[in-house]
Amino acid sequence: MDFDIPTFWLIIGFAGQALFSARFFVQWIMSEKLKKSVIPVAFWYFSVFGGITLLAYAIHREDPVFIAGQGLGLLVYARNLWFIWKERQEGNAAS
Protein backbone atom coordinates (compact mmCIF):
# COMPACT_ATOMS: atom_id res chain seq x y z
CA MET A 1 0.00 0.00 0.00
CA ASP A 2 1.55 3.28 -1.08
CA PHE A 3 0.58 6.47 0.79
CA ASP A 4 1.45 9.97 -0.24
CA ILE A 5 2.72 12.20 2.55
CA PRO A 6 -0.46 14.26 3.03
CA THR A 7 -2.57 11.10 3.39
CA PHE A 8 -0.04 9.63 5.81
CA TRP A 9 -0.19 12.74 8.01
CA LEU A 10 -3.98 12.83 7.89
CA ILE A 11 -3.98 9.25 9.16
CA ILE A 12 -1.54 10.23 11.93
CA GLY A 13 -3.71 13.22 12.84
CA PHE A 14 -6.92 11.21 12.98
CA ALA A 15 -5.20 8.38 14.90
CA GLY A 16 -3.98 10.88 17.48
CA GLN A 17 -7.43 12.41 17.78
CA ALA A 18 -8.97 8.94 18.21
CA LEU A 19 -6.49 8.07 20.97
CA PHE A 20 -7.02 11.41 22.65
CA SER A 21 -10.82 11.08 22.45
CA ALA A 22 -10.75 7.50 23.76
CA ARG A 23 -9.66 8.80 27.14
CA PHE A 24 -13.06 10.40 27.66
CA PHE A 25 -14.83 7.11 26.93
CA VAL A 26 -12.56 5.29 29.38
CA GLN A 27 -13.30 7.89 32.06
CA TRP A 28 -17.03 7.84 31.37
CA ILE A 29 -17.30 4.04 31.41
CA MET A 30 -15.34 3.75 34.66
CA SER A 31 -17.37 6.50 36.33
CA GLU A 32 -20.62 4.84 35.27
CA LYS A 33 -19.37 1.49 36.54
CA LEU A 34 -18.40 2.90 39.94
CA LYS A 35 -21.26 5.43 40.10
CA LYS A 36 -18.83 8.25 40.93
CA SER A 37 -16.43 10.47 39.05
CA VAL A 38 -13.04 8.80 38.66
CA ILE A 39 -10.03 9.18 36.40
CA PRO A 40 -8.52 5.76 35.68
CA VAL A 41 -4.82 5.36 34.86
CA ALA A 42 -5.76 4.45 31.26
CA PHE A 43 -7.08 8.02 30.88
CA TRP A 44 -3.54 9.35 31.37
CA TYR A 45 -1.99 6.80 29.02
CA PHE A 46 -4.46 7.69 26.28
CA SER A 47 -3.72 11.36 27.01
CA VAL A 48 0.03 10.84 26.62
CA PHE A 49 -0.11 8.67 23.50
CA GLY A 50 -2.81 10.78 21.87
CA GLY A 51 -0.94 13.95 22.82
CA ILE A 52 2.36 12.68 21.37
CA THR A 53 0.66 11.65 18.13
CA LEU A 54 -1.17 14.96 17.84
CA LEU A 55 2.03 16.85 18.65
CA ALA A 56 3.80 15.07 15.78
CA TYR A 57 0.94 16.05 13.50
CA ALA A 58 1.01 19.65 14.74
CA ILE A 59 4.78 19.87 14.18
CA HIS A 60 4.33 18.53 10.65
CA ARG A 61 1.63 21.14 10.03
CA GLU A 62 3.88 23.81 11.58
CA ASP A 63 0.98 25.06 13.71
CA PRO A 64 2.43 26.93 16.72
CA VAL A 65 -0.90 27.13 18.55
CA PHE A 66 -1.51 23.39 18.24
CA ILE A 67 2.15 22.65 19.13
CA ALA A 68 1.98 24.77 22.29
CA GLY A 69 -1.33 23.25 23.36
CA GLN A 70 -0.24 19.64 22.90
CA GLY A 71 3.26 20.24 24.24
CA LEU A 72 2.05 21.83 27.46
CA GLY A 73 -0.70 19.24 27.87
CA LEU A 74 1.88 16.45 27.64
CA LEU A 75 3.65 17.88 30.67
CA VAL A 76 0.45 17.65 32.72
CA TYR A 77 -0.34 14.11 31.56
CA ALA A 78 3.19 12.88 32.20
CA ARG A 79 3.23 14.51 35.65
CA ASN A 80 0.01 12.73 36.59
CA LEU A 81 1.50 9.39 35.51
CA TRP A 82 4.61 10.21 37.55
CA PHE A 83 2.46 10.76 40.65
CA ILE A 84 0.67 7.44 40.03
CA TRP A 85 3.95 5.52 39.54
CA LYS A 86 5.49 7.15 42.61
CA GLU A 87 2.45 6.32 44.77
CA ARG A 88 2.54 2.69 43.59
CA GLN A 89 6.26 2.40 44.34
CA GLU A 90 5.78 3.84 47.82
CA GLY A 91 2.88 1.45 48.37
CA ASN A 92 5.00 -1.52 47.25
CA ALA A 93 7.89 -0.41 49.48
CA ALA A 94 5.55 -0.21 52.47
CA SER A 95 4.25 -3.75 51.89
Give 23-40 pLDDT, tens digit per residue. 999 999 999 999 999 999
User: Could you tell me which of 27, 55, 24, 21 has the C-alpha nearest to residue 40?
Assistant: 27
Per-domain boundaries in the chain: 5-94
Q: What is the pLDDT of residues 50-84, one digit of tens each?
A: 999 999 999 999 999 999 999 999 999 999 999 99
Q: What is the pTM of this model?
A: 0.82
Choice between 45 and 6, residue whose per-residue pLDDT is larger: 45
Predicted pLDDT at 76? 94
Residue 95 has pLDDT above 80, yes or no: no
In angstroms, rounded to a whole number, what is the distance separating the alpha carbons of residues 18 and 37?
22
Q: Are 19 and 49 in contact (CB under 8 A)?
A: yes
- To the nearest 10°, the Cα dihedral for 89, 33, 27, 88? 0
